[in-house]
Structure 1
């Protein structure tokens, strides 16, 4: 039977003539940090001081001892690297085993009967990129770093939310595999379902030793009590398992996520040789891209159910990805699911994530949209990159295809759009730029290896060159003009078929800033704040976003920090409420972004230290099955009930016309029903509609604990009263560290926010932005208070104030 041994221990990293202890999996940065030889790049402006690490070569070594007697029973010994970052030379006993140039592949070397010093020398990624650029020629990109010339995590070269920390090292496990006769080299499970009958077709590739070339081998597979057995014909064998009465895997919110163990064994006459095990789920998935009266649709259909996607974009959770543990994946994805998200897009400037990521998504019912790793650049299609791209695609399609959560392969991020709109065409002057990958190579690989899933050429993409790549009426759409140049109310100016990127920035939590910028007198333009703001004119866009609605606070960082959080949450809410109200014409939104890779001002809902921003709590409301919203209409505000639930939503909606001074002007109650998976939209009755442009009255809609507001003017024009409220602190159970903060409003209190991390770094509140009418109370559960009193808690409470 095959024997596997991890060899993560005993490695050394050469540095200035000395040998440092090295951790594998890991990278040069994590080893230098552990040795206290570089400062933490996340703190202050240390990023600049460690830039040299990515610009030199590094060598790892360890002893590979001779095989023990027990090991000699195996005919073959392979040295397997699951991930080498990136351009590496592998040697054993001074002789070269091979060279690599792709972070996103695995590598296998025959080391049978060999021993000695094992060495892995990594060239500078900059040197490798320069060599490829010299051969292939210059190509345009969106950032001043050479990431398109090397098959490496593009965002390690910096992004508009990330630092430039160019890594090197064995970032995934290393092991020795000892085997005889034959081994299972690759398994492709094609999983389909027809009604309640499932089918698993296992296409198995084998590798044989010379003595095993003609031996009779038998493969046997079992799933859900069904067994198939077949004799291997050469180096391949196919087993088909028809499974009756299977339960369907559903996205969260649509059903359960049953998973089935598939167990495969390979045997010879004298016993077992190898085994493979994986979990699969039975479900169908397609994307309806049919033309209609509005253009070209883009609707996910899972198990025959048409779905409005409630999605988020995912970036690597750490700029040093070897630090992302299975537990960290699970925590972040559980947070994502708790925000009522049902799809996570793995963005193309990052990595094909670890198995733990996709396993968690399988179990949590989070659909995965997987980009191939191309982003914001023109990529050469010549060798050596072309061969690497195909090998990488084949590696990862086969590795990830067992996961039922994976619902679509996407060719690239923004490159088709970039070619058309970012002045690339003239600069390229006919040179290759990646189109052959996205419209040729990658769809062929997917069709060959994983025909059970849809492929699309890119995001955004209208489906063909007959339409602009980012045409909102055709296919997927990225909405960045609003953040870059307009007010967030402009999200309502169109109804895209599917919004696969849009978002608005805000700083991280205050405790995250204090940890990342120790001792700094915080201001929007203080040195550390500017360094941790990577977007072009990011602070200018933040300030303009605030100033369009509020008086921009001068010299009051706390107020500025609060208002930027409010605007971020409101901006995303404006888009999602509008687009959900236009289902089924618009069939999904994928917010940029759920997570961060370091402490930074960004579009994230969860900051780089894992703290929840107000946007996160707003996503929970926006992505809930039932959404109540008031939308501007041609003849006044309209009431919308968007019901993504499986059952009809019948409720009494109370509409109140309120005056700014807290008095009630008019009230109407409506009994309404929104059918399952449908939207109901109707005009607000005139008697509760605020006068056009009124700064003294506003509309409130309430139903089943949900609330929607409509103001005719922007905040700095509205006649807000000076907010007044009382608070009481109530201990919860016997735990002094958990309290309920009860806030009772005496006036209109809009967008009340308890910033728990201001009380204690690890404190957290279970609520985000909340609006109270005069006389109303709300209860905010607060954890990790360390016995804080009412005055301390009050100091962490913010709300909208008169201009």
Structure 2
């Protein structure tokens, strides 16, 4: 009698060896999913490539082919059933044999496969997977297609011919580790009928209270009854069952599509974090035969209306997101794969990363196009926590070829992954690529925005346009619902990608490009700033992990440089440190200054661009490059590989508070005028709000001498100020007499019902000109709280953190008369008095 479909993971009992040496002993594999570097380390063949210069010692791995093998028994009680092997992901060129018969050949890491083995399965079975070298195959494919222009940023040209995570070829923030292996689960399925997928397509009523649409179910095999239900918590809000004859006139057969209309009233809407709740509905599908359940399909989803708003205005054309009728400022960060060895990323790690985003008041993440379509756990967590997802397709920094077999593979890749991700309410936009249009511009590849003939694009020197402006949007239209599509990041609707008036912008003229002063970030933004950043060293504990030789623990050591993959990083870090600070030679001081430099740079960016949100939605979002790391090293991340927060994490969190006060004086370029001070400079105070209602607040403005700690003029108190909902409210503007007024900070506090809910301190620039001696810092701890005070304005006070203690804030500016309270929570023992560092501290080690 038919029974419910069974899918059993084939996790254990695997072994592997180099395919080049048939006499080599098979080595054990701890579990599948896995990749070869992980197994070589586990077997003591390879040293940890994340430490010292040992990445170099792993180079031989990428030049070899590798074989994985396991055995399994024929499933019991499977009479009349079909048996399948399911491969969720094979990295990358794989030939699969079962009992010496080839059952699958794959060349795309991003594809899953379901192979019918009913006719060849035996009582005892041997499964073998051979993985070719992706690097060597990529080089060969490049040579086979000399007519294509293989131009790119990062890695080597052969990567463009291979559907594999592009960062594995090495990037400017990560190592070159060309993995191979069954990187996602391998499972054995026994089924009499199978639900291959379902699509919940709906529209919300005008009042957003009703969802009406269709649930489309794809079924393989014979069944006679189908049930579809939608549940919210314990309540069934929709249920329908149908007999097979109601929609096909007879028992369903292979390839049947069942479409069931549904209506759900009194919808609980899904919102991004900070804008409402994240209620999730369960959608359950069951197929039956003779009253016996044959298969089930269940997903969680949320109902929301998402819009990408692009309308003409006085600044050009807007680019921002509206969720359930609410305009959302998308402050957040870009996401890269959280490990070079992907199977090591657990669901728990994904949750910890995403929880950090919520702690940091971030509401959007951008899944970058040189990594992977992330695991289900990543998107599930974004749904649960209310994090909007910008999803790139997996193309990055190159001119991709379009020969027919590759195009077919890309088409299937897009279909599979869109179908896998489309039910997530967090998913609000798919983008065709990362920076490929910038490659087109830099290499002068043929591109005419006015030419709308896709066939002509295939014959140009930029054929990849066919993917981004024809194939991918076509698939989004067919396979997705309620999710925007954008050809690339950045993209500007026919204008050059640096155009700030339309589309999204990658602003790299700070750090890269012209290496502009970071104090000018607010002048450099566009309609949606989807990449920008500043490098910083990770925390000392992370450095001591990857630098095992004590003699290499200095800022410019070979090991330190090896763990920073950015071209010219020595010059760029030095430039920004020398321009703004007084560098010191010891490692601890250098770490601190790079981190403070990053914190300051990102503060100028987020603060200034969020202000523009209230100016006709001039800036719709700010996504720093980058949230995370794939290995321990120096990069643009604001949280390092071990989930240790850099000071900039806290700075961004403060600028993205629901009510955030800000103060900033106009930029005076001290380099251009040869350090001659401006006679006067203007400043402004404003409040940014993501609240959906007006607030009445008090705003306090003080002018405090950096040298003495005394107020140089009377405090200003703006009482009972009305703060505009979901926008920017200008509070005060004025001028500073730089001739007669001694150097001072402008310290601003936002008071709600008498309590301070936000602070901002503006400093004379550059900070290197200021005297920070004898600050009079006091840090006391009691009842789980650090209480921080200062006798004189103090810049960037950073409390030392541990992995088992979480701080509510850090990297704070402290002014006299304003006690800052930082809460410490966690399982560890809080150190009192704590170690801390601030700018100008006499000794950092």
Once the 2 structures are TM-superposed, how far is the Cα of residue 629 of structure 1 from its aligned partner? 0.9
Which stretch shifts more, 336-345 or 198-207? 198-207
Counterpart of 2:27 (choices 20, 37, 41) is: 20
Q: Does 1:651 align with 2:691?
A: no
Q: Does 1:142 align with 2:190?
A: no
| Corresponding residue of 2:659 | 626
Q: Kindly tell me the number of residue pairs found equivalent between the two proteins.
A: 776
Q: Is the Cα–Cα contact under 8 Å of residues 410 and 457 in structure 1 kept in the other structure?
A: yes
Q: Does 1:750 align with 2:761?
A: no
Which stretch shifts more, 721-730 or 412-421? 721-730
Q: 1:386 to 1:218 in 2, by over 3 A?
A: same
Q: Does 1:236 align with 2:257?
A: yes
Which stretch shifts more, 325-334 or 555-564? 555-564
Secondary structure in 2 matching 1:225: strand
Q: Is the Cα–Cα contact under 8 Å of residues 660 and 759 in structure 2 kept in the other structure?
A: no
Q: 1:643 to 1:776 in 2, by over 3 A?
A: closer
Once the 2 structures are TM-superposed, how far is the Cα of residue 557 of structure 1 from its aligned partner? 2.0
Q: Is the Cα–Cα contact under 8 Å of residues 743 and 764 in structure 2 kept in the other structure?
A: no
Alignment of structure 1 residues 683-762 onto 2, 5 Å: 683-685=732-734, 689-691=736-738, 696-704=743-751, 705=756, 706-730=758-782, 732=783, 740-757=785-802
In structure 2, how many angstroms separate the alpha carbons of the residues matched to 1:344 and 1:727? Answer: 35
Once the 2 structures are TM-superposed, how far is the Cα of residue 238 of structure 1 from its aligned partner? 0.6
Alignment of structure 1 residues 379-390 onto 2, 5 Å: 379-390=400-411
**TM-score (norm: length of structure 2):** 0.88
Q: Does 1:798 align with 2:838?
A: yes
Superposed CA deviations along residues 618-643 of structure 1, whole A, max 9, x for unmatched, are 12101111111113359710111111
Alignment of structure 1 residues 166-565 onto 2, 5 Å: 166-180=178-192, 182-194=193-205, 195-208=208-221, 212=222, 216=224, 218-223=226-231, 224-230=236-242, 231=244, 232-233=247-248, 235-269=256-290, 271-424=292-445, 430-463=460-493, 465=494, 467-484=495-512, 485-521=515-551, 522-553=553-584, 555-565=585-595
In structure 2, how many angstroms separate the alpha carbons of the residues matched to 1:728 and 1:306? Answer: 42
In structure 1, how many angstroms separate the alpha carbons of the residues matched to 2:126 and 2:42? Answer: 24
In structure 2, how many angstroms separate the alpha carbons of the residues matched to 1:30 and 1:654? Answer: 56
In structure 1, how many angstroms separate the alpha carbons of the residues matched to 2:822 and 2:657? Answer: 19
| Corresponding residue of 1:4 | 7
In structure 2, how many angstroms separate the alpha carbons of the residues matched to 1:127 and 1:774? Answer: 63
Q: Does 1:588 align with 2:658?
A: no
Q: Is the Cα–Cα contact under 8 Å of residues 413 and 458 in structure 1 kept in the other structure?
A: yes
Secondary structure in 2 matching 1:684: strand
Q: 1:800 to 1:581 in 2, by over 3 A?
A: farther
In structure 2, how many angstroms separate the alpha carbons of the residues matched to 1:37 and 1:133? Answer: 32
Secondary structure in 1 matching 2:510: helix
Superposed CA deviations along residues 176-216 of structure 1, whole A, max 9, x for unmatched, are 11112x321221221332121112421122223xxx4xx75
Once the 2 structures are TM-superposed, how far is the Cα of residue 109 of structure 1 from its aligned partner? 0.9
Secondary structure in 2 matching 1:59: strand
In the TM superposition, structure 1's runs of 4+ consecutive aligned residues that sit over 6 Å from their partners are none
Once the 2 structures are TM-superposed, how far is the Cα of residue 543 of structure 1 from its aligned partner? 1.4
Aligned CA RMSD, in angstroms, stands at 2.2
| Corresponding residue of 1:161 | 173
Superposed CA deviations along residues 304-347 of structure 1, whole A, max 9, x for unmatched, are 11111112101111111111111111111111111111111111
Superposed CA deviations along residues 647-673 of structure 1, whole A, max 9, x for unmatched, are 323211111122221111221111222
| Corresponding residue of 1:663 | 710
Once the 2 structures are TM-superposed, how far is the Cα of residue 384 of structure 1 from its aligned partner? 2.4
Unmatched 5+ residue regions in structure 1?
A: 733-738
Q: Is the Cα–Cα contact under 8 Å of residues 533 and 539 in structure 1 kept in the other structure?
A: no
| Corresponding residue of 1:736 | none
Q: Is the Cα–Cα contact under 8 Å of residues 555 and 586 in structure 2 kept in the other structure?
A: no
Q: Does 1:95 align with 2:101?
A: yes
Which stretch shifts more, 634-643 or 326-335? 634-643
Q: 1:701 to 1:802 in 2, by over 3 A?
A: farther
Q: Is the Cα–Cα contact under 8 Å of residues 204 and 211 in structure 2 kept in the other structure?
A: yes
Once the 2 structures are TM-superposed, how far is the Cα of residue 776 of structure 1 from its aligned partner? 4.4
Secondary structure in 2 matching 1:237: strand
In structure 1, how many angstroms separate the alpha carbons of the residues matched to 2:827 and 2:542? Answer: 16
In structure 2, how many angstroms separate the alpha carbons of the residues matched to 1:727 and 1:34? Answer: 45
In structure 1, how many angstroms separate the alpha carbons of the residues matched to 2:175 and 2:343? Answer: 16
Superposed CA deviations along residues 364-389 of structure 1, whole A, max 9, x for unmatched, are 01111111111111110113211110
Q: Does 1:39 align with 2:47?
A: yes
| Corresponding residue of 1:637 | 683
Secondary structure in 2 matching 1:535: coil
In structure 1, how many angstroms separate the alpha carbons of the residues matched to 2:408 and 2:66? Answer: 25
Counterpart of 1:119 (choices 110, 128, 133) is: 128
Secondary structure in 2 matching 1:301: strand
In structure 2, how many angstroms separate the alpha carbons of the residues matched to 1:680 and 1:422? Answer: 44
In structure 2, how many angstroms separate the alpha carbons of the residues matched to 1:694 and 1:545? Answer: 27
Q: Is the Cα–Cα contact under 8 Å of residues 151 and 443 in structure 2 kept in the other structure?
A: no
In structure 2, how many angstroms separate the alpha carbons of the residues matched to 1:243 and 1:729? Answer: 53
Q: 1:780 to 1:64 in 2, by over 3 A?
A: same
In structure 2, how many angstroms separate the alpha carbons of the residues matched to 1:627 and 1:253? Answer: 14
Q: 1:694 to 1:173 in 2, by over 3 A?
A: farther
Q: 1:356 to 1:201 in 2, by over 3 A?
A: same
